[in-house]
A and B are shown apart, each in its own frame.
Chain A
């Protein structure tokens, strides 16, 4: 729509406070664990300082790659479902009368001010064999045998989508609220089919929101470990569990840190690529 502003030659004062916070309060701690990732595990689980790359070389193990692949698949599915489910809700809120918008936004987020564990327990109650969902489906005559959902990948997906849906809705709303109504109306005249209005006008115009939402859902669902354990029955391991285990159970901080850095590098590269690709298009 508008040409991007050109870099100014004046000193970037504005960025100083956030940059300072990021470098001092995050960069330095990160360097500490980076150093740890090149150390080795002490006999009793402490950190022994010795420069080694062993922690990194032992990551290339089919076992860990399978865990990573599974987590990736679940995170992608979660993000896709959140996008499909979140879009209508964000759109409805953005289209609601101004004075109701705040109320509706709060309505979306307030469930998440309850404690995570009791919320998850409530899902277990809904999904179990004699749970609410099965009873409802049985009495509606839709099924004749209770479905086995709890402690399967389906339950994990439901739990992850539930947990991160607001992370999709909030950025989407922020982008959609700005959507020019006259453009959408013009689109209705032009295309007439809702799908076309959506894909040709609404979606491109809200792209920055879609990107932000997808990043904010994808990353935490990739690292999730409590939901897969409780709702998935811990029958499989996610990359979040794997890292947690290295730090706590195995007490191998160096390997845990190395694993974390490799994961971080991979995710960061993917997200940056996605942001660049999406961002460039959004400016056209």
Chain B
């Protein structure tokens, strides 16, 4: 079956919707004005300033480090959870499933406060480590939810067949189920990474000295002004990510 023409049109319209503000943001990163209110002429000054702004760059690195690390951890825990819930039912599973939703349902600020009180109580100094823990905790149920939705539509008999042919449970999982789960896992990890990268309030409460992330830094600018350096940084992040993904796709094709 071919994908309907109207479907493709709707998909393209969605992408246009997603990229419209990004285009605006990139245009304003070249605006001479300090406020993104009016076009005041072309300028590269925000890019020049960005590269001398140590604090902003350091915050970006912190954000990326936490996002990558918490995504990996959330990915491992999330996939494990999904597999356990779907393939190894256990007593009390319904209660556990309900609890698993709590980190998604909890209001962000209460989660931030709860984490802060917890880390202070166990005397774990606030740092990139505590932030990574917090991000992992709110991300792994999200991964589990998405991966499980995928797993539910997979026929468990595929894996059982592999077992019958003599594969160990781990080999059967790795060779049969995992590849089939991949689209779900990729989607879930992308989502976890994004949630972590853009989180402000939970990060703020769990951040220690010297672990300011990009969203924390930008919220701190509200009193002075969110400068177009942030636009420039965002533009670079978008363009670099796109170039990397395009390159990866191209390499795979060969």
Contacts and interface: CB of A to CB of B under 8 A. Distances in A.
Contacts of A114: 22, 25, 234-235, 237-238
B238 A170 contact: no
A116 B20 CA distance: 14
| Interface of B (DSSP majority class) | helix
Nearest to B86: A5
Contacts of B165: none
B129 interface: no
Contacts of B114: 29-30, 32-33
Nearest to A247: B109
Interface in B174-221: 180, 183-184, 186-188, 190-191, 194, 197-198, 200, 214-215, 218-219
Given A25-B133, A178-B150, A272 B101 contact: yes
Interface residues of B, number: 108
A115 B102 contact: no
B66 interface: no
B150 A174 contact: yes
A46 B149 CA distance: 43
Given A19-B96, A115-B230, A117-B218, A132 B110 contact: no
Size category of the binding interface on chain A: 35 or more
Nearest to B79: A18
Contacts of B166: none
A17 B82 CA distance: 12
A147 interface: no
A118 B226 CA distance: 8
A221 B68 CA distance: 25
A245 to B, nearest CB: 10
B44 interface: no
Contacts of A257: 110, 113
Contacts of B89: 4-8
B25 A122 contact: yes
Interface stretch (A48-56, A58-66, A263-271): A263-271
Contacts of B238: 110-111, 113-114
Contact of B155 (A1, A112, A211): A1
Contacts of B197: 112-113
B187 A126 contact: no
Given A2-B156, A18-B84, A268 B3 contact: no
Interface of B: 1, 3-4, 6-8, 10-11, 14-15, 17-22, 24-25, 28, 36-37, 77-78, 80-81, 83-91, 93, 96-111, 113-115, 117-118, 121, 133, 136-137, 140-142, 144-150, 152-157, 180, 183-184, 186-188, 190-191, 194, 197-198, 200, 214-215, 218-219, 226, 230-231, 233-235, 237-238, 241-242, 245-246, 248-249, 252-253
9 contacts: A8-B88, A14-B83, A18-B100, A110-B238, A113-B234, A165-B14, A170-B191, A171-B145, A264-B106
